[in-house]
Every structure is written in C-alpha cells, then in structure tokens.
C-alpha cells in the first residue's frame, strides 16, 4: 500500500527522491512544485473529456472512460517512473491527492517501486508555502538608488557565506520598467511563488537572510503579501553611490540593447517622467548620448525610491556612503557594518 505523507513530511524528501506530478500538462505548465517531473495520467483533452463525462454521467462513467484512456499507456508510465526512481523510491502527487495520484501510485507499487503519495496534493502544497512566508525570519534589506549595484553586491555576499533571497533572479526581472531587458521569460505568478518558497525553505532561520529592497510587483510577478510585509518592516542598509557612477553602471548594463526597445521602455514612464523630459531622453537616445538618458531616467527613479523609503521606520535605516562602484569592497563593508551593529 503506497504511503501517504503530509506536505511537511514529503517536501524535504524531494531533495533526494524524484517527485512525479501526474496532473495534466496544462496544470503542470501553469505552475508546479520545483523539481517535479510531469507524467500526466491524462493529457489536456482527455482530462477535459473525463470531466465532462463525470458531470453528465457520474463517477462510474468517468472512471470507465479514464480506464480506456489510461490502459494503453500504463507500461509507458512504469518505464518512465523506473528511469526516474532512486533506489526504487518515488514520490507522487496530483491536484487534491485523490484518484489520479492514487491510481498512479498503485500502478508504480505493483511494478515494484516504493511509492509515497502527497496527502492533499498540490493544493495542500500551495497552502503550506503561503503559510511559510508568515513564519519569523531575520531579514535585512539592502537598499539604494537604481544603479547602485545592489544585486551584484548581494551575490558577492552570498559567495562569502551570507544567505540571499534573490527575488529579481527568481522573477527574471530587475524591478524597473527596464527590468525585463536581457532576461528569460518570466514564470507565472504562481510558479514564481513556488520558486521563492523552494529557496526560502532551505534557509537557516537562525541566521540573517538578505533581500534587496523591492517594489511589490516585478513585471507580472508579485511578492507574496507576508513576505513583502517582512521586507518593508525589516532593518534597511541604504547604500549611497554617487549619481555619476550609477549612470555609468546603467549604460554598461542597458546601453547595448536596441534603441527601439529602450525607447519603448522610456515611453512606459512618460506620464511620470513628464513630456519634456521624455522628449529629451528620446532625443538623447537617438543621438547616442546614453549617459544623458541614464541621468534623465534616474531623476524619476530617485524620487520614486525616496518616496518609498520615507514610509519606512527611519530608526531601522542605516545609511552607508560609498565613494566607488566597487561591489567586492562594498560587500565587505556591509558585512563588517552589520557585525558591528
């Protein structure tokens, strides 16, 4: 008899035992547990037909139709599962932990595998991860104006042993309107939350977790409310890098992109930048004066950042003046500052 495991019991096992998601390809593509492999018991059309049959003729008719679909595919399911299994162990889940995962688990066990099923299915997983972001954690936020190199500094700190929740890296978006340039396509918002939770669960919560100061929304990915609230309430180390150096960094990061793309991004902040500055930025872009473009756009982003930080508890904010754009040196200074505080 396949074992039933709670999400708390099953999730740590996914680091060493393969997890099979037996939901339809469409369900899996929308979002899934990170690392899970899709072996769908029904394809998208079959799932729809079984559902229609259930509503029209009841459970018995739906089961019979399902068997017609599944029968010819059973040996293939077993072969796929055996290729994935480690020491003949496999984990299985569906949407609610019902017939789909139960049937596939029975099949795999009959074929000689040691099978465990997620009780409550993917639905239980989603509830669990949302709850996890509400748990106590020692967050410290690294903030600073656009172009300060915060992400690079935090990556260096991570290489030095610090814990870093790279929200922008997971979202495939750098946060600003220029954020999607040069990035992979964004995950669905649901899968973004799953990916965040997968990193989150592996942290040592007795130690500090670093995050970058972010807006709630990064493109189409939104930071879950409990986590965003933690970010807004956590201590902030705000680095101040001279504007001229930030302009140079932005030109280095974005200057190689097509002018048409950059013009489209500028146009997206036209209402906030104002017509005159938008025209000046567009003309400078056409003339190849990229430092001027960076300077104009920073005039908007710096004001927006000041507005955001003004809502924070100023007693939890520490300003750190940096004379150079030196991520390695800055990382060392920030770690040393935190140790002293």
Residues tagged active-site: 94
Say which DSSP state 89 is in. E
Quick check: helix, strand or coil at residue 237?
strand
Only one residue has tokens 């492999």, namely 37
In whole angstroms, what is the distance from residue 288 CA to residue 192 CA? 36
Dihedral Cα 21, 23, 29, 32, nearest 10 deg: -40
Residues 6+ apart with CB under 8 A from 339: none
> Which residue from 125, 179, 184 is spatially nearest to 151, judged by alpha carbons?
179
Rounded Cα distance, 243 and 334, in Å: 20
Q: Are 128 and 57 in contact (CB under 8 A)?
A: no
Cβ atoms of 181 and 254 closer than 8 Å: yes
Q: Which residue has the tokens 């106590």?
A: 136
The SS3 call for residue 130 is: helix
Give the residue ranges of DSSP H helices in the chain. 7-13, 25-30, 44-57, 59-70, 74-84, 99-110, 121-132, 150-159, 167-171, 189-200, 225-233, 243-254, 259-268, 270-273, 275-286, 290-309, 327-340
> How many CB atoms sit inside 10 A of residue 75's CB?
11
**Secondary structure class of 18 (helix, strand, coil):** coil
Count Cα atoms within 13 angstroms, Cβ side, for 320.
Answer: 25
Q: Phi/psi at 6 (nearest 5 deg)?
A: -70, 165
């Amino acid at each position: 008899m396949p074992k039933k495991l709670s999400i708390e019991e099953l999730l740590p096992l996914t680091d060493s035992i393969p997890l099979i998601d037996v939901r339809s390809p469409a369900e899996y593509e929308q979002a899934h547990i990170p690392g899970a492999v899709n072996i769908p018991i029904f394809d998208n059309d079959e799932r729809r037909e079984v559902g229609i049959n259930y509503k029209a003729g009841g459970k018995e008719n739906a089961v019979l139709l399902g068997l017609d679909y599944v029968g010819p595919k059973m040996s293939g399911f077993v072969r796929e599962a055996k290729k994935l299994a480690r020491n003949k162990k496999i984990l299985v889940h569906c949407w609610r932990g019902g017939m789909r995962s139960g049937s596939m688990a029975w099949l795999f066990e009959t074929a000689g595998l040691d099978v465990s099923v997620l009780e409550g299915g993917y639905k239980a997983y989603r509830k669990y991860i949302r709850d996890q972001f509400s748990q106590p954690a020692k967050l410290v936020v690294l903030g600073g104006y656009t172009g300060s190199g915060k992400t690079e500094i935090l990556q260096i700190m991570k290489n030095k042993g610090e814990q870093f929740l790279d929200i922008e890296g997971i979202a495939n978006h750098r946060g600003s309107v220029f954020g999607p340039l040069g990035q992979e396509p964004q995950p669905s918002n649901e899968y973004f939350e799953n990916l965040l939770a997968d990193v989150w669960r592996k942290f040592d919560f007795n130690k500090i977790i670093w995050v970058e100061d972010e807006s709630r929304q990064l493109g189409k990915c939104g930071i879950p409310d409990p986590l965003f609230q933690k970010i807004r309430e956590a201590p902030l180390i705000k680095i101040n890098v001279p504007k001229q150096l930030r302009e140079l960094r932005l030109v280095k990061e974005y200057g190689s992109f097509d002018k048409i793309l950059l013009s489209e991004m500028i146009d997206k902040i036209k209402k906030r930048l104002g017509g005159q500055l938008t025209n000046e930025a567009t003309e400078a872009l056409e003339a190849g004066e990229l430092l001027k473009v960076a300077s104009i756009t920073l005039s908007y982003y710096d004001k927006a950042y000041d507005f955001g930080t003004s809502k924070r508890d100023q007693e939890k904010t520490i300003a750190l003046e940096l004379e150079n754009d030196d991520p390695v040196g800055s990382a060392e200074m920030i770690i040393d500052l935190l140790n002293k505080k």
